[in-house]
Structure 1
Amino acid sequence: MTATTTSSRPAWVTDELVAQWCSWVRQDVTRHGDSVPEPVMAVAPYDLSPIAPVPVCAPEDVAAAVVRARQAQPDWAGTSIARRGEMALAFHDLLLERQDQVLDLIQWETGKARYHAWQEVGQVAAIARHYARRARHYLAPRHVRGMVPGLTKVKEVRVPKGVVGVISPWNYPLYLGIGDVLPALLAGNAVVSKADSQTALTMLWTRDLMAEAGLPTDLWQIVTGSGSVVGTAVVEAVDFVCFTGSTATGRTVAGRAARRLVGASLELGGKNPLIVREDADIAAAAAGTAVAAFANTGQMCIHIERAYVHEKVYDAFRDELVRVTQALRLGQSYDYSVDIGPLVSPDQLAAVAAHVDDAVGKGASVLAGGRARPDLGPLCYEPTILEGVTPEMAVHGQETFGPVISLYSCATDEDAVSLANQGTYGLSASIWSSDLREAGRMAVRIRAGSVNVNDGAAAAAGSVEAGMGGMGDSGLGRRHGAEGIRKYTESQTIAVQRLMPLGPSPKTSVASFVRRTNRQLALLRRLGLR
């Protein structure tokens, strides 16, 4: 079944609303300069029509945005965590109340199916609620034993980094654009975000909503423009960088941050594996694989691109996956009648088609899909299953970032784990089995930041109390959970010495002080104390 729409721009989006959202773009310098950069005009995936002109910042605008953010940050850091949490909960409520607006914007800018757009709303709401309730716990001072028991009182406290730079991609403009901003703000920081040029309106709409929820005006600055110019300016000016994107760009970001001795959190690419054990529920595994491979039209860093299936159930799994995949509804619509939407851009469509065509040209077989569907929309591409993929094919080891999965047969669990660990990525993985204990033993042997058992990808990503991130070429650091907010802080030790100073007193010789201290150290050892 397919569905189409002939309308691209949502009817309720007026030029006045676009202007209101774009007023959040920080252009302090270029607005008053001799030359103003031409606005950027993204293209709507549904019909390739221009979306709306969005102002473009210069590096000087970024510097001005950081100055404004830095000036606003101390007052915010002095605001109680409870008050910050109230703002996040107010945003949570407004987001759920106005979700149809942002769902339309996400679809307009990315083309994704409405359910996949809604998943962003649900995830951001969960993040806002979680950190509003748990930030105080995650950031609470920690009392530790001092150097001299009873005389040295020590605690570790968390202090904000200052100004956090968030550079987010187009594929999840609400979740990745806002999900990292919320914990940074709740930790007491100011934020400067670089909106992706394809999806700037989603972020600007959200900034407008955050203002309505009570966020101070200058605390979250938004800049726009190319990554090479504006993104670089952000990295060169802030106190911590949160970046989501390609591994190649992530290396550049990490290098620039390292030269400035500022921290960076990087979620990068993936070539994520899925294992189907001999004892798996085949129907459930096939349905879960289709979701994990084709959700968001395969344009997500944690989606499954390769499946290793035990040879005894390979045929049954393959046939069921083909059946499930061919039943998916491909098309474009502003309602829930579509399962898979178009790709985001002509370049993305070309990249996906190139991987499939290269594989077929070198001997791979197409079990389902494998072709563009311009009759449904200019960027529609059928969910595709490949068989017979070999190492010389680009799709074998390179990230496709589209609705394509390759199937491989394996003889043992050992083979499956070994194959899953091939390559340099390590972001997400999946195991399907009726033996949860054995699946758990396999999971810890897979090099991936998250391993889902009897789920494709969402179980770990949606569990916001647990960290999410990559190993190897898939990145550094974690979002979600304790680390997802603590990374935006510095650990500071405060030690108070009482009654007597450390070291020998004026009336004691150094030699006698050393002898006495040595006896104390030996006693502590015998008592089993640190």
Structure 2
Amino acid sequence: MTRATGGIVTINPTSGDELDFYPYTTPQDIDRVLQIAGASRWGQSRVADRVAAIDQLGEILAERREPLATLITLEMGKPIRQARAEIDKCVSACRYYAQELPEILRPETFDIDGDTAIVRVVPIGVVFAILPWNYPWWQVIRAMLPAIAAGNTVVLKHAESVTGSALAIQEVFQDAFGEGVLQTVVVDAATASAIIEDSRIEAVTFTGSDRVGALVAARAGAALKKCVLELGGSDPFIVLADADINAAAAAAVTSRFINNGQSCIAAKRILVHRDVHDAFVDALVPHVRTLKVGDPADETIDVGPLARHDLRDSLRKQRAQALATGGRVIAQADAPESARGAWFSPSIVEVDERDSVLLSDETFGPLGALTTGADDDELIALANSSRYGLSSSLWSTDSDHAASVSARVHAGAVFVNTISATDPRLPTGGIKASGYGRELGKWGVYELANLQTLRIRTT
């Protein structure tokens, strides 16, 4: 993505070629978008009508799976098989909410000292969503489908590098829900900041870096607007002494390198009990070396380019800093040699220094850190030493041992003997510098709704 006069140009990260030019949304059109969103009668719609629209959304996504997945691959380099899987996951979320929404929105009734009390889910209005490029469709479905199910309308400012997908999202939602339920604006950061302050916006949701998240939260907080933040992660992948080593090694590679390593909940810090270090590394290395890196449009490819060239440059800098302080590359798969593409060779670096940049900072790409701990206490201390707390994965063949250790992990989620993954049925979100608020499941609906209490006394 590059900025041009009056708009942006999207770039194919595989080749470096320009894809398309998109003009910025004019101030007049932004005002019109906000007026339409605020005047929408979607919040007054019947639950049955919402269910039908959500079901229709799923059907449209399934029908348009191939062109939507192809656009994802063109704009941000996701391997085509994974791009299709992203659309499929969006379809599964639609099916979940179409089935469960009547129960989620059903008012709860209580008897309170002879009074009848009712808690009901009421929409709050227009939600402004500022969302990232790494899962162009899933980020929107995950964050905004629950909000729309609650009766809200959405104004979407997507990442500039996936503007083509952002406009496709608007088109699909309009076909399913009608005009005004989800609208896309193409704006820069300064304009997005001004939209947060607009009186027609009732809440803001942001997914991205903790640095920008703090700015968004400050702007929303100054206007006393609800804000949901899903920020960075430096998730620990904890291998205990009694883990299934082969299964853990294979899962670590999958988790670290899925989506070209550009996932907030990837296994960024692999923390291995010292007693099983050698066996784990022996099992890990072949999985890394056999990764196929190349053109993401190729059905056989595991890892494509990074989504942007500046992201590649930042990752190269982090790797150089880690190696300069004693880090060692223990496994690597070679990437294509191309000055124009945003290529980076997927690699695992073993580090001994506890202040290594690979342990202290988030690495957003195919670069993983591995280090060891002498016992459970040291492994947990390492896991919790990060300023982030998004998710985690823990490996042990002893369920009691796993339960005991997992309770000590400071994160929004702990996955035992499986990799971290979002699921429409479960809440997702973080603690510490990974943000606050929850998305998905019934919790995602309630997060951006007014849980209104009605207490009635019969006279």
| 2-structure distance, mates of 1:244, 1:59 | 24
| 2-structure distance, mates of 1:45, 1:195 | 18
Residues 330, 380 of structure 1: 8 Å contact kept = no
Q: Deviations over 1:434-464 (max 9, x none)?
A: 1122112211210010111111212xx13x2
| 1-structure distance, mates of 2:129, 2:410 | 27
Which residue does the alignment assign to 1:484? 444
Which residue does the alignment assign to 2:266? 303
| 1-structure distance, mates of 2:438, 2:128 | 16
Three-state SS of the structure 1 residue aligned to 2:146 is: helix
| 1-structure distance, mates of 2:271, 2:431 | 20
| 1-structure distance, mates of 2:341, 2:164 | 22
Say which of 44, 61, 65 aligns to 2:33: 65
Give the TM-score taking structure 2 as reference length. 0.95
| 1-structure distance, mates of 2:300, 2:195 | 40
1:391: how far off? 3.6
Three-state SS of the structure 2 residue aligned to 1:40 is: strand
| 2-structure distance, mates of 1:491, 1:323 | 52
- Bigger shift: residues 294-303 or 231-240: 231-240
Which residue does the alignment assign to 2:378? 415
Say which of 389, 404, 415 aligns to 2:367: 404
Q: Deviations over 1:137-175 (max 9, x none)?
A: 1222111233x42xx222111110111111110111110
Say which of 430, 435, 441 aligns to 1:470: 430
Residues 387, 432 of structure 2: 8 Å contact kept = yes
Residues 370, 385 of structure 1: 8 Å contact kept = no
1:355: how far off? 0.7
Which residue does the alignment assign to 1:20? none
Structural mapping, 1:280-429, within 5 Å: 280-369=243-332, 373-375=336-338, 378-429=341-392
Question: In structure 2, what residue type is equivalent to 1:77?
Answer: G
| 2-structure distance, mates of 1:253, 1:317 | 41
Say which of 177, 181, 188 aligns to 1:219: 181
Which residue does the alignment assign to 2:98? 132
1:59: how far off? 5.0
Greater gyration radius: 1
Which residue does the alignment assign to 1:41? 9
Residues 353, 371 of structure 1: 8 Å contact kept = no
Three-state SS of the structure 2 residue aligned to 1:288 is: helix
Structural mapping, 1:77-476, within 5 Å: 77-146=43-112, 148-149=113-114, 152-213=115-176, 215-226=177-188, 228-237=189-198, 238-369=201-332, 373-375=336-338, 378-458=341-421, 461-462=422-423, 464-476=424-436
Which residue does the alignment assign to 2:21? 53
Q: How many residues align?
A: 454
Identity %: 32
Three-state SS of the structure 2 residue aligned to 1:224 is: coil
1:64: how far off? 3.0
Question: In structure 1, what residue type is equivalent to 2:187?
Answer: G
| 1-structure distance, mates of 2:191, 2:401 | 48
Runs of 4+ in 1 over 4 A off after TM superposition: none
Residues 292, 333 of structure 2: 8 Å contact kept = no
Residues 275, 308 of structure 1: 8 Å contact kept = yes
Residues 167, 194 of structure 1: 8 Å contact kept = yes
1:37: how far off? 6.1
Say which of 473, 488, 498 aligns to 2:458: 498
Q: Deviations over 1:76-102 (max 9, x none)?
A: 122111111111111101211210101
Question: In structure 2, what residue type is equivalent to 1:132?
Answer: A
Residues 37, 57 of structure 1: 8 Å contact kept = no
Question: In structure 2, what residue type is equivalent to 1:273?
Answer: P
CA 1:268/1:60 → structure 2, altered by over 3 Å: closer, same or farther? Answer: farther
Q: Deviations over 1:398-451 (max 9, x none)?
A: 111011111112121121111110021100101111112211221121001011
Residues 173, 182 of structure 2: 8 Å contact kept = no
Q: CA RMSD in A?
A: 1.8
Three-state SS of the structure 2 residue aligned to 1:312 is: helix
| 2-structure distance, mates of 1:354, 1:217 | 45
Q: Deviations over 1:183-240 (max 9, x none)?
A: 2211111111112110011121122222222x121222210122x2232133222101
Residues 69, 163 of structure 1: 8 Å contact kept = yes
Three-state SS of the structure 2 residue aligned to 1:235 is: helix
Q: Deviations over 1:378-406 (max 9, x none)?
A: 22211111113424432220111011111
Three-state SS of the structure 1 residue aligned to 2:389 is: coil
1:371: how far off? 7.0
1:39: how far off? 2.4
| 1-structure distance, mates of 2:308, 2:155 | 26
Three-state SS of the structure 1 residue aligned to 2:206 is: strand
Q: Deviations over 1:41-88 (max 9, x none)?
A: 01110111111111212455433321111011xx21221111111111
Residues 12, 77 of structure 2: 8 Å contact kept = yes
1:333: how far off? 3.4
Three-state SS of the structure 1 residue aligned to 2:451 is: strand
| 1-structure distance, mates of 2:136, 2:256 | 20
| 2-structure distance, mates of 1:443, 1:59 | 50
Give the TM-score taking structure 1 as reference length. 0.83
CA 1:79/1:423 → structure 2, altered by over 3 Å: closer, same or farther? Answer: same
| 2-structure distance, mates of 1:59, 1:417 | 50
Question: In structure 2, what residue type is equivalent to 1:137?
Answer: E
| 2-structure distance, mates of 1:119, 1:370 | 23
Residues 314, 409 of structure 1: 8 Å contact kept = yes
Residues 110, 170 of structure 1: 8 Å contact kept = yes
Residues 329, 338 of structure 1: 8 Å contact kept = yes
Question: In structure 2, what residue type is equivalent to 1:105?
Answer: L
